[in-house]
A and B are shown apart, each in its own frame.
Chain A
């Protein structure tokens, strides 16, 4: 409610405690309704044609129960499920925790910290394709940059990152964190900046050290943002395609695929689009509870990102 509204005598005085909702605003008069509908039609058309229809179509494509028996009998699929869970749980939580810590670092007002923030945001600004290809070529075989550095430092040949499932998964997770850490750091940074300085001063007067201030002042105050960010990131990471596709491409031998790359491979490389759709739909049992939690959180607390 703008302060001007409280001064202009446009509304009849109402008893204190009732929400100020001028009655005339709720009724759209005749021609206004036509305009309103005309303005909403473009987005409604986009939504129906490009969201509702594909969703229904996708659900229909993956609706045969035999597809799921086929899926679960494929050992690669079980591996893929495990990989996706690891990727999401470890990737999202490590990323959020690091974003929380790094955002504290960037709160400092020194000139070099602010210059560093500009450089730090670069991974997020650059296209995923370019940077993930670069990371792939840092890791692949003995001439990649990481192995070269390793041999310069230790004199021995470096490990082959993409030849074992464990290191390839670790590489995927680290590449994912590398790309998205700046974005979430920025979100947490804004949340931290919204905390008034007086609270920290009061805590310091009461004898709190830096760490105590972080744990007892900062974290409780941005806990809501942290939770919403984690839920949202979980949703987005479930369907993350470019990271695994370009960094490890499922190497070695499709053992590091996640659901998105598995579904893509089934649909477009092997010509079984229904299997691909079914693989994607099988992620819904994890996605839907997260969505419900997220919607309830947003509804209750009104956190906006």
Chain B
């Protein structure tokens, strides 16, 4: 048996080695900061520019101003006339999607995982099949079908679409997380005379709370950030969400890019706040399946 030779470096070479490693880390860190923040910085620069400064081609506006944000907040531009109503629409879509995803997903995974429905694996596999077909491919028939159901220009069309895409992930995470909850709790509740609904409400849901939070924030962010289905289903100013209103700016003849970026920043604030408040839950949600090699 050959013994591997360890490399012996003299102390100062070892220190130099480590210093180079640290310098490389710091350099990579700086690159990552610039890489991650560049488009966000660009958004801020354009939003803070006065209208004439947009085309001046400077790294920082000559006279930065909060006027664009003022216009957005006071709905002072024709694309922004119903801004706060549309903001409310976005929130409604997000919250309903979150609620429905949690409800439908937890019911389905409870049935498959805890009540051991025969052939329940069919349900989980069918659910995962939803992700096989990219969402943008389904958009065309979806639009036509919503016309048939009479749901165009209704927020419920979008809620239905996004819930459809969020629920399989919810079922997956809930079934993975549910494996860590012992079946004895269900059994003892059953012995105490609980029916399945009571077991679901009083045993399953409270114990699934961390998974519920993780999936809920995921569904909320998915609904808020979604564009394509919003754009297809909602075209009246009353029913539009902020995403569609923002995209309207692209049709403008006037190039109000500072207003557009200000709207984009206001639109990006809720997901940023939710992300910062819940980032541990979200990171936990991603890995709740237990990433294994």
Residues of chain B within 8 A of A123, CB atoms compared: 36, 39-40
Question: Given the complex, which residues of B lie within 8 Å of A26, measured CB to CB?
Answer: 116, 118
**How far is A137 from B258 in the complex, measured between Cα atoms in Å?**
11
Contact A134 B115 (CB under 8 A): no
Bound-complex Cα distance A304 to B128 (A): 12
- Name the segment of B54-62, B63-71, B205-213 touching the other chain: B54-62
A14 within 8 A of B: no
Residue on A nearest B125 in the bound complex, by CB: A295
Q: Are A222 and B293 in contact (CB under 8 A)?
A: yes
Shortest CB distance B66–A (Å)? 18
B126 at the interface (CB under 8 A from A): yes
Report the count of interface residues on B (CB-CB < 8 A): 103
Distance A116 CA – B33 CA, assembled complex (angstroms): 7
Q: Is the interface of B mostly helix, strand, loop or mixed?
A: helix
Q: Does A108 contact B (CB under 8 A)?
A: yes
Q: Is B107 an interface residue (CB 8 A)?
A: yes
Residue count of chain A within 8 Å CB distance of chain B: 103
Is B115 touching A178 in the complex (CB atoms < 8 A)? no
Known: A50-B164, A242-B228. A127 touches B144 (CB 8 A): no
Q: Taking the complex as formed, is B87 at the interface, i.e. its CB lies under 8 A from any CB of chain A?
A: no
- Complex CA gap A26/B117 in Å reads 8
Set of chain A residues within 8 Å of B137, measured between Cβ atoms: 58, 239, 260, 263, 280-281, 283
Most buried by B among A129, A206, A305: A129
* Chain A residues in 8 Å Cβ range of B289: 304-305
Residue of B whose beta carbon sits closest to that of A28:
B115
A305 — which chain B residues lie within 8 A by C-beta? 286, 289, 291
Contact call B25/A105, Cβ cutoff below 8 A = yes
In A81-109, the 8 Å CB interface with B consists of 102, 105, 108
Is the pair B163, A241 in contact by a Cβ cutoff of 8 Å? no
User: What 1/0 flags go to A36-53 for Cβ under 8 Å of B?
Assistant: 100110111011011101
The residue on A at minimum CB distance from B170 is: A43
Whether the pair B271, A129 counts as a contact (CB closer than 8 A) is: no
* Bound complex: CA A54 to CA B135 (Å): 11
A residues in contact with B265, CB < 8 Å: 130
- Counting from the closest, the 3 A-B pairs by CB-CB distance are A239-B134, A304-B289, A58-B141
Q: Can you report 9 residue pairs joining A to B where beta carbons are below 8 Å apart?
A: A35-B197, A43-B127, A46-B160, A120-B36, A145-B42, A187-B287, A207-B4, A242-B227, A273-B144
